[in-house]
Amino acid sequence: MSGQNPYQLLGGEDGLRKLCAAFYRIMDESPEAAGIRAMHGESLAAIEEKLFEYLSGWMGGPPLYARRTGTVCLTKPHQPYAIGAAERDQWLLCMDRALEEVGASAEVKEMLREPMFRIADMMVNR
């Protein structure tokens, strides 16, 4: 282990922005992610920025989302959407593909696998 957090290992702000851009592009283009893509507006720019801000603090970088919103609660913003195991798995598929696309190391993928599953699973509300 390198002793660095995922934010650092991904390359800081630039690396995390690339990950978030890849995530939403993959979601937008993947038929397997149509269920979660339909939950988003036509433009993904605003939600991409929110994901970047959230993951920044969650992965050990600046707590941008908490600074902007005063909280890191994710369940409330997701309540209006019917999220089941299928939607959770679509989100995780997009994130796995995005991590692969940006060249995340095996160390980063291992660090994130279980915590990413837990956070995605917390959004399940049906």
Q: Identify the pLDDT of residue 117.
A: 98
Q: Identify the pLDDT of residue 2.
A: 65
Q: Identify the pLDDT of residue 3.
A: 79
Q: Identify the pLDDT of residue 67.
A: 95
Q: Quick one: 49 exposed, middle or buried, by C-beta within 10 A (0-12, 13-18, 19+)?
A: middle
Nearest one of 94, 13, 20 to 60, comparing CA atoms: 13
Q: Identify the pLDDT of residue 103.
A: 98
Nearest one of 113, 92, 108, 97 to 2, comparing CA atoms: 108
Q: Which long-range contacts (CB under 8 A, 24 or more apart) does 6-11 make?
A: 6/59, 6/60, 6/108, 6/111, 6/112, 7/55, 7/56, 7/59, 7/60, 7/61, 8/60, 8/61, 9/104, 9/105, 9/107, 9/108, 9/111, 10/59, 10/102, 10/104, 10/108
Q: Identify the pLDDT of residue 1.
A: 53
Report whether CATH 1.10.1040.10 matches the domain 7-122.
no
10-residue averages of pLDDT along the chain (126 residues): 88 98 98 97 96 97 94 88 97 98 97 97 96
Q: What tokens appear for 11 in the block?
A: 């390359």
Q: Identify the pLDDT of residue 73.
A: 86
Tell me the domain boundaries of the chain.
7-122
pTM value is 0.94
